[in-house]
Structure 1
Amino acid sequence: MDIVNENIVSYIHSLEKDDIFLGKLEKYAKEENVPIIRKETASFLKTFLKVLKPKNILELGSAIGYSAILMGFNTDEDTKIYTIENYEKRIPVAKENIKKAGFENKIFLLEGDAMEKMQGLESTFNNPADIDKKFDFVFIDAAKGSYKEYFLEAEKMLGKNGVIICDNVLQNGDVAVSRFAVERRDRTIHSRMREFLYEIKNNESYETSIVPIGDGLSISVRLA
């Protein structure tokens, strides 16, 4: 089910300006059943990035490179984007799309398990004395049952006032209902997502909002 009225979503979509390059990626994703961020999420990210002006971005879950490229178009020329993808079949497609977008020196695709790759990045981004090399924005759109672990690992490299946004946190509205109301196969993810959302909302090191944009976003701003 949609977490926002379908007519409202359709109306919002009708107001969006078409981007030829990203439009082609959206078409490919739809035809090949590749999950990418929803249009309203993409619109929010574009505005958010203009306000935050991040210099170092980490993304978990590249898919075909859609959201990384969108971020590339909406950040400063010297911004660096590190994006991690584990699904082998999508990696060549993402690489080609990044190349076509002209972002080979801006977007860096890391192949493999997200936790392992983040741990490998720590030596570059975890020096407290070198604040300019901290990530100031992390976008998590990977395995939903592992959001808690991803968040904890990412925050090791997050600077003060850095932001972590997680996508799909409302799970088509399923998180708002009893675990017994969802399919048995989805109950583990349901429980883990509810636990994750409770923990970040009650983490005093962050100011967190959960907003019904797309399939739900959690937006956590680091305070300390």
Structure 2
Amino acid sequence: MRNEMMHRPVLKDEILDLVRNRQRQMDGLLGEIQQQAYTDDVPIIPNETATFLRFFLKQIQAKKVLEIGTAIGFSASLMAQAMGENGHVTTIDRFDVMIRKAKLTFEKMGLTEQITLIEGDAKEVLPTLEDTYDFIFMDSAKSKYIEFLPECLRLLKVNGVIMIDDVFQAGTVMHDVKEVPKSQRTIYRKLNSLYDAVLAHPDLTVTILPLGDGVLMISKDVENIEI
């Protein structure tokens, strides 16, 4: 199903062309998966977000990553590659079709030892996890981000980073709710609840980046945080 929000960029066309198309696309097998996803209109992260994600993981020298929302396994594969052989990605998804496609992706990429795919609803899976992570990437149902956040903060190491994708809702997130289509109002309210929870929180360092449909970056400054 076509995700209309993916095709309503917030940035001007010429800036979008610079960050999305003039930056190098992924190469090798990962590039083939990326291009096939574009052809099939599969909602993977756009190239500017993928480029940033690869760059950022290398800079923070992450070794343990948690992902919520595997889809076809593109971003998990990208992160595993960026970290190298000593890095590990744990990724969660509940959709059978995506799980099958992701497993094929990991096999094709030769990354089955570096990526653990947990099948299930993140709401149920997250409380069972006991490891700590350097980086957590949320790219799933936007209305669930605020629900997942407390557990993600529990699992994140101090000074670790949570990256939350698609937080602009095609630029409508700051509109008056009456201007938002009724079908999108739950997401609208949940995303604004997320902003309310983190932007002024005294124990979080937060920034917003205009990548794709918006990226929210959250760094945890102390061990125990209440949201």
TM-score (norm 2): 0.90
How high is the sequence identity, in percent, across the aligned residues? 34
Equivalent of 1:19 in 23, 27, 31: 27
Say how many residue pairs are matched. Answer: 214
User: Which whole-Å CA distance do the structure 2 matches of 1:30 and 1:137 have between them?
Assistant: 26
Structure 2 counterpart of 1:129: none
**SS state at 1:171 partner:** coil
Which structure 1 residue ranges, 5 or more long, are not aligned? 126-133
Structure 2 counterpart of 1:130: none
Structure 2 counterpart of 1:78: 86
Matched, 1:10 2:11: no
Equivalent of 1:147 in 142, 145, 148: 145
Which structure 2 residue ranges, 5 or more long, are not aligned? 1-7, 223-227
Give the CA deviation at 1:23: 2.3
Matched, 1:115 2:123: yes
Equivalent of 1:69 in 77, 85, 88: 77
Structure 1 counterpart of 2:192: 194
Give the CA deviation at 1:17: 4.4
Give the CA deviation at 1:28: 2.7
Give the CA deviation at 1:221: 0.7
State how 1:155-170 maps to structure 2 within 5 Å: 155-170=153-168
Contact 1:62–1:83 (Cα < 8 Å) also in 2: yes
Q: Which amino acid aligns with 1:185?
A: S
Structure 2 counterpart of 1:221: 219
Give the CA deviation at 1:80: 1.2
What's the CA shift string for 1:114-134, capped at 9, x where partnerless?
121112213xx2xxxxxxxx1
Contact 1:53–1:76 (Cα < 8 Å) also in 2: no
What's the CA shift string for 1:62-109, capped at 9, x where partnerless?
000000001011113211100011111111110011111111111111
Give the CA deviation at 1:200: 0.8
Contact 2:136–2:161 (Cα < 8 Å) also in 1: yes
Structure 2 counterpart of 1:128: none
**SS state at 2:89 partner:** strand
**SS state at 1:221 partner:** strand
Q: Which amino acid aligns with 1:160?
A: V
Q: Which amino acid aligns with 1:68?
A: A
User: Which whole-Å CA distance do the structure 2 matches of 1:84 and 1:40 have between them?
Assistant: 23
User: Which whole-Å CA distance do the structure 1 matches of 2:97 and 2:41 have between them?
Assistant: 13
User: Which whole-Å CA distance do the structure 2 matches of 1:27 and 1:55 have between them?
Assistant: 27
Equivalent of 1:97 in 84, 100, 105: 105
Structure 2 counterpart of 1:184: 182
User: Which whole-Å CA distance do the structure 2 matches of 1:18 and 1:140 have between them?
Assistant: 21
The Cα RMSD (Å) is: 1.3
Structure 1 counterpart of 2:5: none
| Structure 1 runs of 4+ with >3 Å offset | none
